[in-house]
Amino acid sequence: MQDDVTESGEALTQGTEDHRVRVARERRDRMRKRLLTAVVESFARPRQEGPPTVDDIVEAACVVRATFYKYFASIDEAIEAAGQELFRDMDSSSAKLLDESGGGLARLTAGIELFLIRVIIDPFWAAFIARADHLGRETAFRRAVALDLSRACAEGRVRIENVGAASTLIVGALTHAIHDLSHGVEDQRVYIEALTVMILCGLGVQPEDARALMRDRAIFIRGLAPDRITWWRDPWR
């Protein structure tokens, strides 16, 4: 009987400790997310020049500097973490759709269109990606572009001399597109469609084939994205 009481007491204590650990972890996760959100929002400020400072972040998050340094050693570390989080969200929410989009070139085309549509849908996301120069780094996004290009080459769908150079062409075009779309173009849909076609033509795809592929992937995306992508909102309605 005494053993049963002891074991029961130990289980209760263990349960209390587990609950406290879980609550503490959830509190830390919420604060970290709050700080990362402040990083992204700070980049989107209209008159923000260059990266935000620690003071900008703590002001936006309504915390003290000491709280920031509990989670990040520097502003660069916080910016890198925010970028990884944003692209992780992009990758995880769109991965299944892209995996179903076909071969290397079809997947690449759908990825380009999804990226450009995200720029329109989420200006905070777009502002961060552009100002943090996240596309210029060796990221999972850039590696995915290179992989799709390699597959498209193997399929005989594109004619390029160097996958790295072709990746730079695509990433550079998307980087500048963020600026154009964020600052206003007359017809965003026409702009996205034209840029997608021109990127494909730059990879050696014939113009008519490029236009047909662009239209086909646009229909594919709009058909499946509402049920597959958490951040999706049809920008043409």
pLDDT of residue 13: 61
**Which bin fits 235, alpha (ψ -120 to 50), beta or left (φ > 0)?**
alpha
> Is the same domain home to 132 and 191?
yes
On whether both 112 and 54 belong to a single domain, the answer is: no
Residue 8 clears pLDDT 90, i.e. is over it:
no
Closest to 98 measured CA to CA, from 120, 115, 79: 115
> Structure tokens of 24?
């503490």
Its domain, for residue 90, covers: 80-228
Mean pLDDT rounded to a whole number for the chain:
84
The reply to whether 67 and 87 lie within a common domain is no
pLDDT 10s digits, 138-154: 667 788 899 999 999 99
pLDDT in tens, 173-227: 998 898 888 777 889 999 999 999 999 999 999 999 999 999 999 999 999 999 8
CA-to-CA distance for 97 and 58, rounded, in angstroms? Answer: 37
Contact between residue 45 and residue 59 where contact means Cβ atoms under 8 Å apart: no
Cβ-Cβ contacts under 8 Å for 214 (sequence gap 6 or more) = 109, 113, 193, 196, 197, 200
Domain-embedded: residue 237? no
Q: Give me the pLDDT at residue 57, please.
A: 92
Quick check: is 235 in a domain?
A: no
Single residue among 35, 56, 72 that ends a domain in this structure: 72
Query: Which residues, at least 6 apart from 62, have a Cβ–Cβ distance to it below 8 Å?
Result: none
DSSP states of 89-153: HHHHHHHHHHHTS-SHHHHHHHHHHHHHHHHHH-HHHHHHHHHTTGGGS--HHHHHHHHHHHHHH
In a domain, 183, yes or no: yes
Three-class SS state of 234: coil
Q: How many domains does the chain have?
A: 2
Q: Clarify whether residues 122 and 162 are in a common domain.
A: yes
CATH number of the domain that 147 lies in?
1.10.357
Find the angle CA(99)-CA(102)-CA(106) to the nearest 5 degrees: 105
Residue 21 lies in a domain: yes
Residue 204 lies in a domain: yes
Task: With a cut of 80, say whether residue 86 has pLDDT above it.
Answer: no
Domain for residue 64, yes or no?
yes
In a domain, 19, yes or no: yes
Is residue 233 a part of any domain in this protein? no
